Amino acid sequence: MSTDAAFDPDVTVSGLIDFIDASPSPFHAVEQGRRLLIEAGFVLVDEADPWPVAPGGYLIARGGSLLGWVVPANGAPHTPFRVVGAHTDSPNLRIKPRPDLVKAGWQMLAVEPYGGLLNNSWLDRDLGLSGRVAVRSGDAASGVQARLFHDRDPLLRVAQLAVHLDRGVNERGLVLNPQQHLVPLWGLGDRPSSFVAYLGEQVGAEPADILGWDVMTHDTQGAARIGRRRELIAAPRMDNLTSSYAALLALSHVTRAAGGPGAEATAAAAYRPMVVLFDHEEVGSRSERGAASPLLAAAIERTVLAAGGTREDYWRALAGTVVASADMAHATHPNYAELHEPGHHIALNGGPVLKVQTELKYATDGVGAATVRLACEQAGVPLQVFATRSDMPCGSTIGPITAGQVGVTTVDLGAPLLSMHSVRELGGAADPGMYAATLAAFLAPAQSGE
């Protein structure tokens, strides 16, 4: 039986739209993911507590990263894992530590670009603010409490220069200096408007009690289905919240299909399903919660040890573990078709995309590719294959980092997308459902003879 029936395209894309709109920052994406998994029966675990032993579904949250896994009722300590890895962060403009500016009678906020954003796409957009604020708190053991906020109001605007003052811009092309030309306006006046006072209003704290923040801008226009037949979805942060949502949906589905987290079963579990959503992929993954951190390897090891396994069982489990690095893929752009590899055109609503690159910007090898092909067959969805032109470089993902850090077979796949790293990206409305179905089949592959 094909698993794609469980991922109705309209229901899935509607859920994705809600997930994106509620997740303007990685911290909010983790909060949404936490709620989704808890609704599916998962239990939140504190990393400082002993690792859970009893069968069930569990999750940990570390800032902008989340990891969920299932302890089966019938697994051996050395049972390998099937892991889907994605990331919660997207390129945007982030607020500097001393942001208050006044220039030519305008109140402005100093920002710094985060990740490889398309600078021009942030011009003349109504921008809101969101993120995490560190507040002095006598109730917290550390004396600091982290509070999230999401201001949906249009607050900021990076205004473009009128064509009358730059007559050759259309012929020469727009060149933007991030320090000079991406500074957003947020009011009029000759005195700075206190950003710290604004944060205090958002999180219910006195300005003197605000000790730090991780605050970023977001486009206030919500995600939406568009096109003549509404077969497309236009949204911010599809790279990579589409993958994050599909992974969470897949993990919830495979555990519910088995009767719920930790349900009794008659046969030994072939794999332990796990999903990890990393932060900081767009800036190299080098943080305590990025793909270059010990987060994934430590979670796998602690799960093995909690099941009564040894260090030897940990290495045995890794030997059979496969990781799917789920990140978005470039669809073929009709206005720039010559920039794509001619034998590997990628279509929106054409199914998941296997990503291959011989210099290992993507981690896919033949064995990893086979696992994705089998998952697509099991899910009953088509598979596309992406390769870059031989005379052009390509981007990378958490795939090669994970393969090198954990030492397991890793494969890169994604859903097709246009306008990647724009403030507003474009995908196919049918793709999220096929993507989630494939990831579910990857997490719980059919046994031989089924």
Peptide bond preceding 240 in cis form (omega within 30 of 0): yes
Is the pLDDT score of 31 beyond 90? Answer: yes
Note the CATH architecture for domain 3-90+236-443.
Answer: 3-Layer(aba) Sandwich (3.40)
Q: Give residue-wise pLDDT tens across range 396-410.
A: 999 999 999 999 999
Kind and range of the H or E run holding 252: helix 238-257
Residues 380-392 have a mean pLDDT of: 94
DSSP annotation string for 284-347: TS-STTSTTSSHHHHHHHHHHHHTT--HHHHHHHHHH-EEEEE--EEPPPGGGGGGS-TT----
Residue among 441, 417, 9 nearest 243 (CA): 417
Closest CA to 100 of 183, 16, 209, 217: 183
Could you state, in order of their start, the residue ranges of all structural domains in the chain? 3-90+236-443, 92-220
Confidence of residue 261 (pLDDT cuts 50, 70, 90): confident
- Phi, psi of 380, deg, nearest 5: 70, 35
Residue type, 174: L
Q: How many CA atoms lie within 13 A of 175 on its CB side?
A: 3
Question: What's the Cα-to-Cα distance from 346 to each of 103, 244, 377, rounded to whole Å?
Answer: 46, 21, 19
From residue 409, how far is each of 284, 322, 437 by CA, in Å? 21, 5, 21
pLDDT tens-place string over residues 146-201: 999 999 999 999 999 999 999 999 999 999 999 999 999 999 999 988 999 999 99
Q: CA 338, CA 196: separation in Å to the nearest integer?
A: 48
Q: Residue 422 — pLDDT band, cuts 50, 70, 90?
A: very high
Look up the pTM and report it. Answer: 0.96
Query: Could you tell me which of 327, 326, 320, 414 has the C-alpha nearest to residue 367?
Result: 320
CATH code reported for the domain at 92-220: 2.30.250.10
Q: How far apart are the first and last CA of the chain?
A: 10
